[in-house]
Amino acid sequence: MTTERSEPAQNADERTMLEGWLDYHRQTLAWKCEGLTDEQLRTAPLPPSELSLLGLVRHMAEVERGWFRAVLTGEDAAPIYFSDEDPDGEFHLTEADTWAEAYAAWQGEIEAARRNAAGLGLDDLSKGLGRHSGEPFNLRWIYTHMIEEYARHNGHADLVREQIDGATGD
């Protein structure tokens, strides 16, 4: 698999720009994981942190699910990897955890995100409410937050990947 990344057009309308940058950052995380074995993807090379590339992918599947299902549509979307007993479960990996499974779950959540956002305008409000504010979010805010979330974690992925095999890149 070779991940194709392209930045959005510099003169795109707002929605195209937001969706383009979100997709760019999604593709960046996939690119950071490319060419590694399951064992390498499970490796947390920066002790005492449990941060691994596979854990980041599983985390982003949860983040996509939370924002585009639970918050945006109000869907009762149970967590995939974490629980009340293990709130960081997406980072607690075993040898049974694979790239194929995590990637499929992540891509499934991305597709659900696209479907759920497709019929909405940027000013449309979520059906779910913010934990702290008790207020709904507009789709623009969710897109902007997701870009921030991916950008931050892609920085983590850069460091993890460099520790695994020395690969660096933007």
Contact 74, 128 (CB under 8 A): yes
Q: Is 35 among the domain residues?
A: no
CATH code for the domain in which residue 57 is found:
1.20.120.450
What would the pLDDT profile of 15-44 be if each residue is shown by its tens digit? 999 999 999 999 999 999 999 999 999 999
CB proximity list for 49: less than 8 A, separation 6 or greater: none
Q: Is 15 among the domain residues?
A: no
CB proximity list for 96: less than 8 A, separation 6 or greater: none
Range of the domain at 102: 43-165
- Specify the pLDDT at position 139: 98
Q: Which residues of the chain fall below pLDDT 50?
A: none
Q: Is 2 among the domain residues?
A: no
Q: Is 147 among the domain residues?
A: yes
- Specify the pLDDT at position 1: 61
How many domains does the chain contain in total? Answer: 1
Q: Is 129 among the domain residues?
A: yes
Q: Is 4 among the domain residues?
A: no
Q: Is 19 among the domain residues?
A: no
What would the pLDDT profile of 140-159 be if each residue is shown by its tens digit? 999 999 999 999 999 999 99
User: What pTM does this model have?
Assistant: 0.95
Q: Is 38 among the domain residues?
A: no
Contact 29, 60 (CB under 8 A): yes
Angle at 108 between CA 130 and CA 170, to 5 degrees: 80
